[in-house]
Amino acid sequence: MKKVLVLIPLSEEQKAQLEALAPDYRYSYVKDSEVTEAQIQDANIIFGNPAPGMIHASANLEFLQLAASGADGYVKSGVLKEGTALCSCTGAYGQAVSEHAFALTWSLIKKLHLYRDDQAKAVWGDEGMVSSLRGATVVVVGLGDIGLQYARLAHAVGAYVIGVKRRLSACPEGVDELCLTDELDTVLPRADVVCSFLPGTASTYHLFNDERYAKMKPSTYFINCGRGTALDGEALCRALEQGVIAGAAADVTEVEPLPADHPLWKQRNMIITPHISGGFHLPVTLENIVSICLANFAAYLKGEELRNVIDFTTGYKK
């Protein structure tokens, strides 16, 4: 009898739907914060995000369906045994993360964070000129599901959107111009807003560094809602302190939680949210995750093609 370990918070109805797909399997439902290494090692199928360090290339594990869109912690050598199917939940977070990034963008360009600071000090002040997305050039780096949904939000309010992606394709609706990652340096000087939705891979590590910030205009705003490793935090501090860029926002940082003494906390033109744009904060996200899990479990049982299979070489979905 195969054992299924579920680390995603399912309703009783959702549990019934899952178990109906394979009634003869044994199911365990555990909070990801309470799961033990023994439970992980014993499972044949896992839904959710077990700590990579607790998997140890488990000989029993056949299929790991993540609840996250990023798989960077699971493609490292020694985490999963060869042949283990690894799938992400790409497509589940588009609405939640894109809307969060869009809100961060508006907060920066309208200086709402500065007025919130003033409110905390009971200061009735004027923080000066603001800008708009109407007529602005927005560069979206990482044009997957989340990036594309953000691009369409920006385009809908009048921005000229440049999408940056790894592989060339037809220009999607909501994007005015498309270029490859290798061409990033040529479009950064044009940007009023740069928003990154890059995954954490070897090729994206510290992609945004001193050199890249220097290519932006002093009036440019930078937002990161992909992976924290894509930006060099120390370089971002320098860019903000020296006025190289106008401001920044990040829902993700290279080290999480961000240490209390990290200089990013002290930057006046910086907005930090604690990696909460995804998760289950927006109810539809969990609904999307469950839908993907059920569809992939059904495909797995039938030996059919799985959705969002991860390429262990690139860290991206195939």
Q: Return the amino acid letter for 237.
A: C
Query: pLDDT for 41-96, tens place per residue?
Result: 999 999 999 999 999 999 999 999 999 988 889 999 999 999 999 999 999 999 99
CA 114, 119, 125, 129 torsion-angle sign: positive
> Confidence band (pLDDT; 50, 70, 90) for 195?
very high
Check: CB of residue 181 under 8 Å from CB of residue 147.
no
pLDDT recorded at residue 225: 97
Determine how many CB atoms are found less than 10 A away from the CB of residue 200: 19
Is the pLDDT at 265 greater than 90? The verdict is yes
Three-point CA angle 243, 249, 251, nearest 5°: 150
Label the pairing between strands 247-250 and 221-224: parallel
Is the pLDDT at 12 greater than 90? The verdict is yes
Label the pairing between strands 45-47 and 63-65: parallel
Q: Return the amino acid letter for 290.
A: V
Q: How far is CA 189 from the centre of its chain?
A: 25
Clarify whether 100 is annotated catalytic.
no
Three-point CA angle 195, 269, 162, nearest 5°: 20
pLDDT recorded at residue 202: 87
pLDDT recorded at residue 318: 77
Query: pLDDT for 161-183, tens place per residue?
Result: 999 999 888 999 999 999 999 99
Is the pLDDT at 120 greater than 90? The verdict is yes
User: How far is 122 from 118, CA to CA, in rounded Å?
Assistant: 6
Catalytic residue among 100, 113, 152, 227: 227
Clarify whether 256 is annotated catalytic.
yes
Task: Print burial letters for 85-121: b (CB count within 10 Å at least 16), e (below 16).
Answer: bbbbbbbbbbbbbbbbbbbbbebbbebbbbbeeeeee
The average confidence (pLDDT) of the chain is 96
Residue 26's DSSP bridge partners are: 3
Residue 83 backbone dihedrals phi, psi, to 5 degrees = 100, -15
Is the pLDDT at 316 greater than 90? The verdict is no
79: three-class secondary structure by DSSP = coil
40 burial (CB, 10 Å; 0-12 / 13-18 / 19+) is: buried
Catalytic residue among 56, 206, 275, 307: 275
> Confidence band (pLDDT; 50, 70, 90) for 313?
confident
User: What's the whole-model pTM score?
Assistant: 0.93
Q: In what side-by-side order are the strands of the sheet with 270-272?
A: 177-180, 160-165, 137-141, 193-196, 221-224, 247-250, 270-272
- For the chain, which domains are there? 3-92+281-302 (3.40.50.720), 94-272 (3.40.50.720)
User: How far is 229 from 73, CA to CA, in rounded Å?
Assistant: 12
Catalytic residue among 256, 281, 287, 304: 256
Query: pLDDT for 292-305, tens place per residue?
Result: 999 999 999 999 99
> Confidence band (pLDDT; 50, 70, 90) for 317?
confident
Check: CB of residue 207 under 8 Å from CB of residue 230.
yes
Residue 57 backbone dihedrals phi, psi, to 5 degrees = 50, 50
> Confidence band (pLDDT; 50, 70, 90) for 218?
very high
Clarify whether 262 is annotated catalytic.
no
| Assigned token pair, 252 | 């993700």
